Each structure stands twice: as structure tokens, then as C-alpha cells.
Amino acid sequence: MTKVLVLYYSSYGHIETMANAVAEGARTAGATVALKRVPEIVPEAVAVKAGYKRNHDAPVATVAELPDYDAIIIGTPTRFGNMAAQMKNFLDQAGGIWARDALVGRIGSVFTSTGSQHGGQESTILATHTVLLHLGMVITGLPYSFKGQMRMDEITGGSPYGASTLADDGNGGDRQPSANELEGARFQGRHVAELAAALVAGRTRVGEIA
């Protein structure tokens, strides 16, 4: 059975909500899904003062387990148009995996969250793609077959690069992922799982023929 890892970092819960939707979508494609987060590296006192969410149901992932999966879907909020330091710190520890080519040919995908409508959603996803490409992964995003990303009747996240959400309501208040954004996340999870299953089946077939 295809194994998918949804690996995320979430300061305030928006990415965590999206991660659950991504995992839900991957499961509908028949994949075995692990939902895990990267460690928090912000000092406890700073996290408390900033109001970070500190109770998470998802276990903490290890870098060593990454090669166990056929696909890895990364969720990270944007920090000045790039991935959060917590996620970068985690991925920066994957040098040994890179040296062994352990992720070459696996599916990689990314989703994100920003505080504003133009807060760097696409640049964050594309910057994360760079890391996945260095690891030899096959990149997939959120194809236009998900028609929700073309909506003009509401403000919504989502682009061909990956699912996304907006965390600010425009008045400095909290905005949770919309129904359309969550559906985009589910679509991406299902899409990645289906592609990973096809790759796994192809490799198995080639092995049988050989």
C-alpha cells in the first residue's frame, strides 16, 4: 500500500487544519497516511508570549524516517515569502538522506498559509520546491482540475503550485481555512496519493519484468 507523509509546521493552527484535510484526501485514494509535525525550535517563553498553539495531536517526525514514504506533502506557513525556520531547520538535517539518494523519485508536494492575500504564498511553495528538487523528488502541485482555485466570487487561497489559506480576516482578526481552501487541500492530498500509487505500481511492474 502507498505510504504518504503529511509533514507540517503550524504556529497558530491554520496549517494544522489544512494538514488534516490533505491527509483526509490522501486516505480517500487508499494510501496509508502518517500525519506528523516538525519540532518547535522557538523558546518556550517566546512561544507563550506570541500565543503559539502548543498542544498538538500529531507526533513529531524524525528526519531518518523520510525514506519510508512514497510521497511527502509539506505544510508550512510563510515567513517573508519563504518557509518557516522550523521547517527549514528540519529539512537542513537531511544531508545524509541526500547523500544516499534516498528520496530520489519520490513524490513531493507543498501547501502553505499566509497572513494576507498577497503574503508570499506562491514564493513560499516554490522555495520549498527547491529543497525537494535537491533531494531528487518529483514535484506536483494543485492542478487546474481543481476548479476551486479559479473562483472569483470569494477571496480564497490556492494556486497551481499548491493549496493555501489566508490566516487574517483583513481586520487583524483570525480567519480559519474556508470550505474551498479545505477542498483544495483534500484534492491535493488525493492527487499526490494517486500519483504515488501509480509510481509504486510502475516500479513493481518493472521489477517483475526484470
| pLDDT tens digits along 25-70 | 999 999 999 999 999 999 999 999 988 988 888 999 999 999 999 9
15 is in an annotated binding site: yes
- What pLDDT is recorded for position 172? 81
11 is in an annotated binding site: yes
Q: What is the pTM of this model?
A: 0.96
Residue 18: is its pLDDT beyond 80?
yes
Per-residue pLDDT band for 98 (boundaries 50, 70, 90) equals very high
What is the three-class DSSP state of 65? helix
- What pLDDT is recorded for position 120? 94
129 is in an annotated binding site: no
80 is in an annotated binding site: yes
C-alpha cell at 78: 510563510
164 is in an annotated binding site: no
Q: Which helix (H) or strand (E) holds 113?
A: strand 107-114
User: With DSSP H G I counted as helix, E B as strand and the rest as coil, what are the percentages for the chain, rounded to 5?
Assistant: 40, 20, 40
14 is in an annotated binding site: yes
Residue 209: is its pLDDT beyond 80?
no
How many degrees, rounded to 5, is the angle at CA 59 between CA 58 and CA 62?
Answer: 135
- What pLDDT is recorded for position 210? 57
Per-residue pLDDT band for 174 (boundaries 50, 70, 90) equals very high
115 is in an annotated binding site: no
> How many CA atoms, within 13 angstroms, populate the side-chain half-sphere of residue 44?
1
